C-alpha cells in the first residue's frame, strides 16, 4: 500500500553520533526513515514516532519534550531481539488540532494495515483517541487501556470537560479500561459511566497489592496509552499534573512490559511529559520496556489455535453455568469464555490463574461477571 509518509512526517534530526557513545546503544541499532522515500523497508516490526502537539491540553509544554525523550531512548541499550525498530520522525503539526488528529489517525491506520506496531512519544494525552479506528456499526468495540490517575485521560479529571476518549466510550466504539486510578481524582459519574459501558478500572492500591491483576487487561488491549500523571512526582516531576501519589518507576515499567508482551497490542504511547531530564528519562524507559516485552511476545489465541491450549470445563452448582477456561501450553497463561446477550459465539477473555481457581471453588470470577453484565 502506498502512503505519503513524507507528507505526514518530519525527518529525524537526532543523530546517534551526537548522543550515543557506545555502539550497544539503541540509537545505533534503530533504523531512521529515509526522508526522500515513502517506502518502509521490509521487516519493520515497530515504528516509533514523536507527536509535538499539546494544543488539546490544559497545561502546555508536552510538545517540547518529544526530542528529549527521543534522545534518552537512543541512549539506552538495544534490547536483545530479532525485530526491527524504525524511527519515523515527528508527525507534522496540523494547522488546527483536528488536522493533527486526522494525520495521526491516517498514519495509525496505514501502519495497522501493514501489521507494524506504532510506538508514540507525545505530546498531550488527548492524542490517544486519534489512534482508535472508526469501525462500521456492529463491529466489536476496540479494547483500549489507559494508565492514568483519573478515568478518561485527555484532560485533568477534576478541572477539564469530558475528554475525547470518554466521548468515544459513549458511542460504543471502544471498550475502555483504566489502570492506576485514584479515588481523589475520579468523579463518581465518570466511574459509573465506565462500568455501564462494561469497562473496568483497577485502583492504584490494587495494582500495588497484586500487579498480575493488570496483565490480562493489557493482554486483551489493542491500544494502550500512559499519561505521565500516572507516575508519582518523585519519579516523574514534570508530568502535566504532578502528584505525590502514583505508580513507582519500576511498576510503570513492568506494566509497559506487559503491554509489549500482549499479542494484540497495535499502539502504545506515552504522553504528558514536559521538559525535564528525569521525566524524559522515565518516559524513555517506559518505551524501552514496551519494546523489551515485545521481544518476548508469543502469538497465541485460543480461538485461532485451540490445540495449543488445555481446555477446562468448570460446572458451577447453583449458578446454572459451566465456565470454560483455556491454559496455554507455551506460557501457562489463562483465558476464559464469556457469552453476552445475543452472542452466538463466546468472547474469549484473558484472565488470571486466580480467576480459574475462583471458578474451581464454585464462585463466578469478577472479570467474567463484568464482561456479561447488561
- Asked if residue 166 has pLDDT above 90, the reply is no
- Give residue limits of the domains in the chain: 5-295, 306-372
Identify the DSSP state of 340.
Answer: P
Cell of 71: 534522545
CB atoms within 10 A of CB 195: 13
Q: What are the strands, taking DSSP E only, across the chain?
A: 9-10, 31-32, 46-51, 85-91, 117-122, 142-147, 174-181, 200-203, 223-227, 267-271, 309-316, 321-328, 334-338, 347-351
**Distance, CA of 45 to CA of 220 (rounded, Å):** 19
pLDDT tens-digit series, residues 177-223:
999 999 888 887 777 777 777 788 899 999 999 999 999 999 999 99
Prediction pTM value: 0.94
pLDDT at residue 344, as a whole number:
59
In this model, does residue 1 exceed pLDDT 70? Answer: no
Over range 269-293, report the average pLDDT: 96
pLDDT at residue 157 is higher than 50: no
pLDDT over 90, % of the chain: 67
pLDDT the model gives residue 58: 81
- Per-residue confidence (pLDDT) for residue 155, from 0 to 100: 47
Over residues 77-110, the pLDDT tens digits come to 988 888 899 999 999 999 999 999 999 999 999 9
- Residue 340 is predicted with a pLDDT of 65
Architecture of domain 5-295 in CATH? 3-Layer(aba) Sandwich (3.40)
pLDDT digits (tens, 9 = 90+) for 48-73: 999 999 998 888 889 999 999 999 99
CB contact at 8 A, 47 and 88: yes
Confidence at residue 371, expressed as pLDDT on a 0 to 100 scale? 80
Q: What is the pLDDT of residue 165?
A: 79
Q: What are the phi and psi torsion angles at 348 (to 5°)?
A: -105, 115
Q: In the prediction, which pLDDT does 342 show?
A: 56
pLDDT score for 139: 82
What pLDDT was estimated at residue 330?
A: 94
Amino acid at each position: 500500500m502506498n502512503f505519503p509518509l513524507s507528507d505526514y512526517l518530519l525527518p529525524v534530526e537526532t543523530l546517534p553520533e551526537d548522543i550515543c557513545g557506545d555502539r550497544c546503544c539503541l540509537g545505533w541499532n534503530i533504523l531512521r526513515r529515509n526522508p526522500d522515500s515513502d517506502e518502509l523497508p521490509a521487516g519493520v516490526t515497530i515504528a516509533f514516532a514523536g507527536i509535538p502537539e499539546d494544543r488539546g491540553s490544559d497545561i502546555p509544554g508536552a510538545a517540547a519534550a518529544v526530542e528529549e525523550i527521543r534522545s534518552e531512548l537512543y541512549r539506552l541499550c538495544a534490547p536483545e531481539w530479532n525485530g526491527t525498530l524504525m524511527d519515523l520522525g515527528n508527525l507534522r503539526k496540523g494547522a488546527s488540532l483536528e488536522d493533527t488528529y486526522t494525520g495521526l489517525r491516517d498514519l495509525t491506520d496505514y501502519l495497522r494495515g501493514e501489521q507494524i506496531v506504532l510506538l508514540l512519544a507525545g505530546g498531550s494525552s488527548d492524542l490517544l483517541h486519534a489512534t482508535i479506528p472508526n469501525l462500521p456499526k456492529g463491529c466489536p468495540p476496540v479494547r483500549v487501556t489507559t494508565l492514568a490517575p483519573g478515568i478518561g485521560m485527555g484532560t485533568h479529571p477534576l478541572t477539564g470537560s469530558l475528554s475525547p476518549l470518554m466521548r468515544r466510550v459513549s458511542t460504543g466504539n471502544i471498550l475502555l479500561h483504566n489502570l492506576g486510578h485514584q479515588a481523589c481524582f475520579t468523579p463518581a459519574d465518570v466511574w459509573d459511566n465506565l462500568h455501564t459501558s462494561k469497562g473496568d478500572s483497577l485502583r492504584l492500591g490494587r495494582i500495588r497489592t497484586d500487579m498480575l491483576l493488570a496483565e490480562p487487561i493489557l493482554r486483551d488491549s489493542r491500544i494502550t496509552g500512559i499519561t505521565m500523571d500516572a507516575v508519582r512526582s518523585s519519579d516523574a516531576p514534570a508530568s502535566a499534573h504532578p502528584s505525590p501519589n502514583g505508580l513507582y518507576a519500576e511498576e510503570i515499567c513492568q506494566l509497559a512490559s506487559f503491554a509489549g508482551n500482549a499479542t494484540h497490542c497495535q499502539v502504545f504511547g506515552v504522553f504528558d511529559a514536559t521538559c525535564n531530564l528525569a521525566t524524559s528519562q522515565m518516559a524513555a524507559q517506559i518505551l524501552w520496556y514496551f519494546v523489551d516485552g515485545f521481544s518476548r511476545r508469543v502469538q497465541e489465541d485460543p480461538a485461532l489455535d485451540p490445540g495449543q491450549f488445555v481446555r477446562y470445563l468448570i460446572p458451577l452448582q447453583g449458578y446454572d453455568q459451566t465456565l470454560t477456561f483455556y491454559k496455554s501450553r507455551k506460557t501457562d497463561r489463562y483465558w476464559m469464555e464469556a457469552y453476552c446477550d445475543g452472542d452466538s459465539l463466546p468472547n474469549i477473555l484473558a484472565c488470571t490463574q486466580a480467576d480459574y481457581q475462583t471458578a474451581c471453588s464454585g464462585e463466578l470470577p469478577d472479570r467474567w461477571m463484568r464482561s456479561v453484565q447488561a
